[in-house]
């Protein structure tokens, strides 16, 4: 196997192992649009890193985190419906990023690569980022698993029973920000949410406990990466979309269509 393909495989698997478990919470907490908004703001991070000449992944992490915290604060005010607020922020962040990139004329970047991912161009450094960021995310997620799960079921009940809900919510959105920054290279800004949502939704068909659902989501994500890479290699398809499509195929081939199957 050639080097670039091996790196692509490792990067994809690393990302899928993290987006799976984290994605289950995105699904349970109905935060798909939230993830989308953060991902859109990642382009602003790309632009800033080019202007300031700082590491791209780091800049994206910082920009996404700031936006995530801002969103949590704005949502707490409850002045606007959450999805309206997210819609406003998502598209203004994306536009701001595009304009910044356009203004910096001397820089020519591969915009498509950022939007749809460029997994075949993953470098060793990217791999280190994925390994480090991914591992950190998984460890923190494991540590806050129980309280986060409890507050996802019923926030106020959890709060009365001693969960520090604001702290947990803040940690969680930072984790999402980190994962988006790390995963961007693999599937790109516009497709990241797919890796969070689709494997988790597929796992729902089979899982009987929240933990099973998280593990299975990681597994389905890995399958999608392998399938997508294979398809991309075999038929010369764009890799990011091929991975997402593979994930979708897994979802639709699940027992979703079987009539009358009881969900337990």
Partner 1 sequence: MNDEQRPVLAEAHGVTVRYGERTILDDVHLRVHAGEIVTLIGPNGAGKSTLVRIMLGLQRPDSGMVSLAKGVTIGYVPQRLAVEPTMPLTVRRFLTLLSRHPKQRLSEVLHQVGVEERLDAAMQTLSGGELQRVLLARALLRDPDLLFLDEPVQGVDVSGQGELYELIGRLRDEHGVGILMVSHDLHLVMERTDLVFCLDQQMCCTGHPEQVKKQPAFQTLFQAGMGLAPYTHHHDGHAHHTWCRDCPQSKGKSHE
Measured CA to CA, the distance from residue 110 to residue 131 in angstroms comes to: 24
CA-nearest of 233, 231, 234 to 250 is: 231
Judged by the rule CB under 8 A, the positions of this chain that interact with partner 1 are 27-28, 30, 146-147, 149-150, 152-154, 156-163, 200-201, 204, 207-210, 212-213, 262-264
Minimum CB distance to partner 1 smaller for 122 or for 163: 163
Minimum CB distance to partner 1 smaller for 128 or for 206: 206
Q: How far is the CB of 37 from partner 1 (least distance, A)?
A: 20
Is residue 210 within 8 Å of residue 255, measured between CB atoms? Answer: no
Tell me phi and psi for residue 263, to 5 degrees.
Answer: -90, 125
Q: How far is the CB of 214 from partner 1 (least distance, A)?
A: 11
Minimum CB distance to partner 1 smaller for 2 or for 264: 264
Q: How far is the CB of 253 from partner 1 (least distance, A)?
A: 19
Long-range contacts of 71-78 (CB under 8 A, 24+ apart): 71/34, 71/37, 71/173, 72/169, 72/170, 72/173
Q: How far is the CB of 135 from partner 1 (least distance, A)?
A: 26
Measured CA to CA, the distance from residue 145 to residue 36 in angstroms comes to: 23
Q: How far is the CB of 70 from partner 1 (least distance, A)?
A: 23
Minimum CB distance to partner 1 smaller for 234 or for 255: 255
Minimum CB distance to partner 1 smaller for 14 or for 147: 147
Minimum CB distance to partner 1 smaller for 64 or for 216: 216
Q: Which residue has the tokens 């597994």?
A: 219
CA-nearest of 253, 219, 249 to 231 is: 249
Tell me how many degrees the CA angle 71-128-101 measures, rounded to the nearest 5. 50
Q: How far is the CB of 148 from partner 1 (least distance, A)?
A: 10
Measured CA to CA, the distance from residue 59 to residue 48 in angstroms comes to: 7
């Amino acid at each position: 196997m050639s080097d670039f393909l091996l790196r692509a495989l490792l990067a994809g698997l690393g990302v899928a192992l993290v987006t799976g478990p984290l994605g289950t919470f995105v699904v349970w907490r109905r935060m798909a649009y939230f993830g989308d908004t953060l991902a859109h703001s990642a382009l602003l991070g790309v632009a800033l890193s080019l202007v300031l000449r700082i590491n791209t992944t780091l800049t994206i992490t910082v920009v996404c985190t700031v936006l995530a915290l801002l969103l949590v604060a704005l949502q707490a005010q409850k002045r606007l419906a959450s999805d309206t607020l997210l819609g406003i922020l998502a598209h203004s962040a994306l536009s701001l990023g595009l304009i910044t990139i356009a203004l910096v004329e001397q820089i020519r970047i591969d915009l498509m690569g950022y939007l749809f991912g460029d997994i075949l161009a993953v470098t060793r450094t990217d791999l280190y980022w994925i390994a480090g960021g991914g591992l950190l995310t998984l460890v923190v997620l494991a540590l806050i698993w129980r309280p986060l799960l409890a507050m996802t079921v019923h926030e106020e009940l959890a709060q009365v029973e001693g969960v520090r809900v604001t702290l947990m919510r803040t940690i969680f959105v930072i984790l999402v920000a980190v994962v988006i920054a790390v995963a961007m290279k693999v599937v790109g800004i516009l497709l990241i949410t797919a890796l969070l949502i689709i494997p988790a939704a597929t796992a729902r068909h089979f899982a009987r406990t929240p933990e099973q659902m998280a593990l299975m989501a990681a597994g389905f994500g890995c399958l999608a990466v392998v399938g997508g890479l294979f398809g991309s290699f075999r038929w010369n398809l764009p890799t990011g979309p091929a991975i997402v499509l593979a994930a979708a195929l897994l979802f639709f081939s699940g027992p979703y269509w079987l009539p009358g199957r009881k969900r337990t």
